[in-house]
Amino acid sequence: MTGIGGENPANITMSNTDSEKPKSVERIEDVDQPVLNNLDYDEEFTPAEQRKIIHRVDRRLVTMTGLAYCISLMDRTNVSAAAIAGMKTDLELDVGYRYSIAVLIFFVPYVIFQPPMTVLVRKLGPTYLLGGIIVSWGAIMIGMGFSKNWVDFVVMRCLLGIMEAAFFPGCVYLLSSWYTRYDVQKRYSIFYLIGCVASAASGILAFGLMQMKGLQNLGGWSWIFIIEGVITGVIGLLTLAFLVDFPDKAYKSWRFLNERECAFIVRRINRDRSDADNEPFSLKRFLTPALDLKVWGFAMIFFSLTTVTYAIAYFLPIILREGMGFGIGASQCLVAPPYGFAGIIMFTTAWVGDKYHTRAPILIFNALLCIIGLPLMGFAENNAARYVGVFLSVAGANANIPSCMAYQANNIRGQWTRAFSSATLVGFGGIGGIASSLVFREQDAPGYRPGMYTTIVCNILVILIVAALSLWFYFCNRQADRGKRVIEGSPEFRYTI
């Protein structure tokens, strides 16, 4: 039996003689592989038992966070589907910058509230906090469906940004706390892949819901928000029941691991990077990573990526409708295939990255896909070529999200460093959402040339930052190997390039 993506978390072959040894001395004879750094070793559980525990974590944690992220992504990006279903006209969002304001206002509180919300996720626990906010934003979504004018709609978008501020950084932080460095990218990819399913299905779902136009004297766009809000509330209730806590407290989660099994996860993480144990909170401890330039390097990479992904999410149906001349139904449904292709690229590159313990080449490869796809999407003469560009752009941009998350998670240590880094990473992602709404402007339709140029430059910036960080990590690793430097407070720790 193997884990997600076919990996074997504990691949030990023991003879009958070995299996009769006391567990406390298993494999100590492997003098070239210190026990404390050997992830395959455990004092209490056999390899088969270890695999079963990790599979249970996969099924419960990755599935629930992915399902919740699926609905989160659908709720924050269904504006574009509603826009071409009549919302822009009914709410007068097609006047001036109103549509762009409605898009970007979500990200202002989303960015501001992320650092304190991330602390609360650790202090209060993710189950009730994240489950509760999902239920609350479901209610806000229903309220959006009853908006009478563009101001009402903008206020609802602002409230949605506040409620969602804890979710994505909380999930990034939670997932990174459960997995070792070279198990994490596949899990991030599954988590984000489920979100891509939402992006792929949301257009088709929106097309079906808009057929309810006229029921209860509401527009089709209203029913998009109302029904998706009800679905969100249901997912929130499931999250309250099934989402699990951090490894040191997860034995309290309903029908999950017991204390011995949670202790195994903590030991495994500590053998990998020595930061699984809960650390007392202090403001100084939380803010000290702000002095580390690499934290901001990761954040800038994520900003560049989300500028592209949000631009595609918010404007692709409009580009298909107004730029390529497809009908309303076709524009909503043609969003789906590129996201399906993105899922294939995302998981394939994640598997390669985890198997070969590499991150930077994956990020650069995906950025190059975007650099090829965006000019095709924006400047090609015929729709077939432009749609091929959509495939490459969507795949490269979305596949790089989990790649960046893994790159960051692999190269930091410490609970509160991880919390601060998750908040800054996703916070800059929110700023990318603001940037995308500003560079794709109504007056630039249908070509959106400034937006296309900006997204191309963002991918070039990703390549430059990744190259600079990788050179620095290589230099630090060489110094550590020669005994001239201790990285991240541990003689055994090495940066992942």
% of the chain at pLDDT higher than 70: 90
**In degrees, to the nearest 5, what angle opens at C-alpha 239 toward C-alphas 233 and 243?**
170
Predicted pLDDT at 449? 84
Give the CA distances from residue 471 to residues 182, 407, 466, in Å, rounded to whole numbers and listed in that order.
Answer: 20, 14, 9
Dig out the tokens for 478 from the structure. Answer: 């060489």
Q: What is the pTM of this model?
A: 0.78
CA distance 310 to 321: 18
Cα–chain center distance at 57: 18
CA distance 287 to 291: 8
- Is the confidence at residue 195, as pLDDT, over 60? yes
CA distance 114 to 421: 11
For residue 176, what pLDDT band results from cuts at 50, 70 and 90?
A: confident
Beta-carbon-side half-sphere exposure of residue 256 (alpha carbons within 13 Å): 25
pLDDT 10s digits, 412-459 = 888 788 888 888 998 898 899 888 878 877 677 777 788 899 999 999
Predicted pLDDT at 29? 29
Residue 490 φ/ψ, nearest 5 degrees: -140, 130
- Is the confidence at residue 28, as pLDDT, over 60? no
Selection from 447, 462, 423, 445 nearest residue 309 by Cα: 462
Give the CA distances from residue 190 to residues 41, 193, 478, 492, in Å, rounded to whole numbers and listed in that order.
Answer: 26, 5, 33, 29
pLDDT 10s digits, 287-345 = 888 999 999 999 999 999 999 998 887 778 878 887 788 887 888 788 888 988 998 99
Dig out the tokens for 350 from the structure. Answer: 């994640």
Is residue 154 within 8 A of residue 30, CB to CB? The reply is: no
Dig out the tokens for 73 from the structure. Answer: 């992504």
Residue with tokens 């950025």: 367
* DSSP reduced 3-state for 209: helix
pLDDT 10s digits, 362-383 = 999 999 999 999 999 988 888 8
For residue 246, what pLDDT band results from cuts at 50, 70 and 90?
A: very high
Give the CA distances from residue 213 to residues 94, 264, 322, 481, in Å, rounded to whole numbers and listed in that order.
Answer: 20, 54, 22, 66
Which residues pair with residue 490 across a beta bridge?
487
Is residue 277 within 8 A of residue 284, CB to CB? The reply is: no
CA distance 146 to 163: 19
Sign of CA dihedral 77, 79, 82, 84: negative
Please report, for the chain, how many H helices and E strands are present, in that order.
22, 0
Helical (H) or strand (E) element with 387: helix 383-410
* DSSP reduced 3-state for 454: helix
Give the CA distances from residue 33 to residues 27, 41, 356, 403, 489, in Å, rounded to whole numbers and listed in that order.
Answer: 9, 10, 19, 28, 21
**Ordered domains of the chain (ranges, CATH):** 42-250+257-481 (1.20.1250.20)
Length of the chain: 497
Give the CA distances from residue 86 to residues 83, 145, 168, 196, 207, in Å, rounded to whole numbers and listed in that order.
Answer: 6, 12, 30, 25, 12
pLDDT 10s digits, 262-271 = 999 999 988 8
Predicted pLDDT at 5? 40
- Please state the rounded mean pLDDT for residues 3-9: 41
Residue 494's CB: how many other CB atoms inside 10 A? 18
- Is the confidence at residue 92, as pLDDT, over 50? yes
CA distance 346 to 359: 13
Selection from 457, 275, 436 nearest residue 375 by Cα: 457
Predicted pLDDT at 156? 94
Predicted pLDDT at 440? 78
pLDDT 10s digits, 124-133 = 899 999 999 9
Dig out the tokens for 227 from the structure. Answer: 């029904």
The rounded mean pLDDT for the chain is 85
In sequence order, the 6+-apart residues with CB closer than 8 A to the CB of 75 are: 137, 141, 160, 164, 228, 229, 232
For residue 277, what pLDDT band results from cuts at 50, 70 and 90?
A: low
Dig out the tokens for 413 from the structure. Answer: 């240590």
Dig out the tokens for 363 from the structure. Answer: 């990020």
pLDDT 10s digits, 141-157 = 999 999 999 999 999 99
